[in-house]
Amino acid sequence: MDRFDGMKIFAAVVEEGGFSAAARVLRIPLPTVSRKVSELEEHLGVRLLVRTTRKVSVTESGRRYYQDTLRILNDIEAAEREVSGEFLGAKGLLTITAPELFARRHVLPVVHEVMRKHEDIAVRLIATNRVLDLDDDGVDLAVRMGELSSSALHAVRLGSMRQVICASPDYLDVVGRPSSPHDLPGRDCIGFNRWNPTEPWKFLTRAGRKLEIKAAPRLTLDSAGAVVDALISIGGFAPLFLYQAAPDVAAGRLEVVLQDYEIEPVPVNMVISHPSPAPRKVVAFLECAVPSLKASLSAL
């Protein structure tokens, strides 16, 4: 049997929580996944997984073998990258993703600086509000706002970001400035696809209690830039991250309201797809990006 192939399939079954899920991720037939794991167990002479009709559980031996398998697979991947030259210098294509406006306003200047310093690095910057899968989409680095979906992700904390409710001063002069979130229902509200339009808007009371308000936006847009334009040209209230509204707030085109009811700021992280040690192109970008982005978030 191919033990290396069996180890990769076994690790996928553990990480995905089942044979069917591992088969989908690896894009191989389900019977192949089952056969390879059975061959590995037969070779080792131990039961690694306990299969029932409802779930797959990892045995104590399986847990120990899984940890050793991860170490071996990571070592092999690092060796292959080193042989291919990724560790010899900062070079190659670097793929980065970040939320739309944050990418344009804060990540793009860092990209320009890295390309100026390292002529052998090429960059593909994906500015999107969709959360891309680092492996499936071939992403090296990702700026993520909010709590990370998995503690297993390799990440560098950049700072935090306020979530604010904004409106234009002209609109506020007409309808009045809300004194509490309870003033929002019945007013013009604009939804942003990053937040589910059907979900209530969340606030904290002055006493620290959670408060949810059903804003029921009549207009929902799929980009922060479009929401900002609508707030200025049409009027209404909308939730935004502060960085999305900051230039227009500074220019007097938007105003932050209900600041006493803001929820806790969300963490901002740079997620790294490569296990340690990372390729030089990733290290080169982090050396430039982390201090710069920390400063940007701190200023906001």
Rounded distance between C-alpha atoms, residue 221 and residue 206, angstroms: 30
pTM tops 0.85: no
Q: Which of 31, 36, 43 is nearest to 10 (CA)?
A: 36
Residues of the chain with CATH 1.10.10.10: 3-84
For the domain 3-84, what is the CATH code?
1.10.10.10
Q: How high is the pLDDT of residue 147?
A: 87
Average pLDDT of the residues in 206-220: 88
For the domain 163-261, what is the CATH code?
3.40.190.10
Q: How high is the pLDDT of residue 261?
A: 94
Q: Which of 41, 53, 42, 46 is nearest to 10 (CA)?
A: 41
Q: What is the pLDDT of residues 73-116, one digit of tens each?
A: 877 877 776 666 555 567 788 999 999 899 999 999 999 999 99
Q: Is the pLDDT of residue 31 over 70?
A: yes
Superfamily of domain 92-162+266-299: Periplasmic binding protein-like II (3.40.190.10)
Q: Is the pLDDT of residue 269 over 80?
A: yes
Residues of the chain with CATH 3.40.190.10: 92-162+266-299, 163-261
Q: Percent of the chain scored above 70 by pLDDT?
A: 93
